[in-house]
Structure 1
Amino acid sequence: MTDANQLFGQALVKSLVGERGHIRIARALPDIDAELAGRVHEAMPYSIYQLLRHMHYWQQFMLEHLEGRKPQLPANVMGSWPEETSPQDEMSWQTDIKMFLDGVDRAVTIAETAQLDEPLPHFPVETRAGLLRNIASHNSYHLGEIVLLRRFYGAWPPPGGGFPA
């Protein structure tokens, strides 16, 4: 791995986990319970649950490309949003959070170990770095919406505070 690759990989890791610009993604989610996750605010078109499931959908799609597989695109963008607004129960919600955060960890491992400028076998116009940056920016965008919803509901900051670490 070249020095430039390693330095860019370190920058990607910071973007994937959240740093300086916003709270770490792993601190912003685990204390959200199923009731809060399924709450619908009249000013927002989706719940926290729907946001997290949408984030997970695209993160998983991009991770599959990064790991050499060829995922199937949805018929349309709405295929990446769940219709249901809330999780089935607390246990399934906590599983959703864990699966999403496990995906962040997988992305971090790729950023730390892969040759980032290599094109992807099933997505030749894109590099590993490009997809990792896409995961980071997509997650960051929607994490901001989750934080905003938490503020609307009086559920902010999380334990330990809401400042970047």
Structure 2
Amino acid sequence: MTSEEFLKELKFHLKDGLIGGDTHLNTKEAIEKLPFSIVNHRIAPNVSTIWEIFYHMIFWQKLLIMLLLDDDTSFKENIELKSFPENDCDEKTFSTHKKQFLAGLETVAKLVETLDLSHPTPSWSNVQKYKIMQILLQHNSYHLGQLILIQKSQPSE
């Protein structure tokens, strides 16, 4: 396999991962189907709510996109913020955050095609761009699984 063929395949797998590729779950559909009625409900003590996890996913997705764009200043300013919300959300906030999350996925899909994926990120130990994308995919996949499990664990209405 040539370097060009490898890069093409890498880009395919990164973009495929953004939409759920090998996880057997379409990311966009799963997020769109999350009903507001359950997002603030805690299924058990010490278990995060859907809102808390989703907020955390968006927080880190934004930070990782900043790193991909070499926006080191914003990254450093935001890393100190809390990555989990302090309050429940209302329906409008949840809807807005769903749109932000999905727009972030589209942004990363475009960056897959335009960035030099081997380029290091100085503000984060020179981690290469493709690795930041891989971290984003793994983070989203892990937490998306949590969201679905919590959704399925809700009492029947």
Give the TM-score normalised by structure 2. Answer: 0.87
Q: Using CA pairs below 8 Å that are at least 6 residues apart, which structure has the higher relative contact order? A: 1
- 2:79 match: 74
RMSD: 2.0
Once structures 1 and 2 are overlaid, which stretch shifts more, 139-148 or 112-121?
Answer: 112-121
| C-alpha deviation, 1:83, in angstroms | 1.7
- Asked if structure 2 preserves the Cα contact closer than 8 Å seen for 1:34 and 1:90, the reply is yes
Letter of the structure 1 residue corresponding to residue 151 of structure 2? R
| C-alpha deviation, 1:101, in angstroms | 0.8
- 1:8 match: 10
Consecutive unaligned residues of structure 1, counting only runs of 5 or more, are 156-165
Work out the CA distance in 1 between the residues paired with 2:149 and 2:11. Answer: 29
Pairs within 5 Å for 1:33-44: 33-42=35-44
| C-alpha deviation, 1:35, in angstroms | 2.1
**How many pairs does the alignment contain?**
151
Work out the CA distance in 2 between the residues paired with 1:110 and 1:22. Answer: 24
- Asked if structure 2 preserves the Cα contact closer than 8 Å seen for 1:5 and 1:115, the reply is no
- Asked if structure 2 preserves the Cα contact closer than 8 Å seen for 1:69 and 1:122, the reply is no
Pairs within 5 Å for 1:55-134: 55-70=57-72, 71-72=75-76, 74-75=79-80, 79-84=82-87, 86-87=88-89, 89-134=90-135
- 1:46 match: 48
| C-alpha deviation, 1:44, in angstroms | 5.1
Work out the CA distance in 1 between the residues paired with 2:19 and 2:8. Answer: 17
Q: CA 1:6/1:115 → structure 2, altered by over 3 Å: closer, same or farther?
A: farther
Q: CA 1:154/1:114 → structure 2, altered by over 3 Å: closer, same or farther?
A: farther
Give the TM-score normalised by structure 1. Answer: 0.83
Higher helix share: 2
Consecutive unaligned residues of structure 2, counting only runs of 5 or more, are none
Work out the CA distance in 2 between the residues paired with 1:30 and 1:140. Answer: 15
- 2:141 match: 140
Percent of matched pairs sharing the same residue: 23
Letter of the structure 1 residue corresponding to residue 136 of structure 2? I
After superposition, the C-alpha distances for 1:36-88 in whole angstroms (9 at most, x for unaligned) are 11111115521111111100111110100101101125348xx211122x21x
- Asked if structure 1 preserves the Cα contact closer than 8 Å seen for 2:63 and 2:79, the reply is no
- Asked if structure 2 preserves the Cα contact closer than 8 Å seen for 1:10 and 1:112, the reply is no
SS in 2 for 1:56: helix
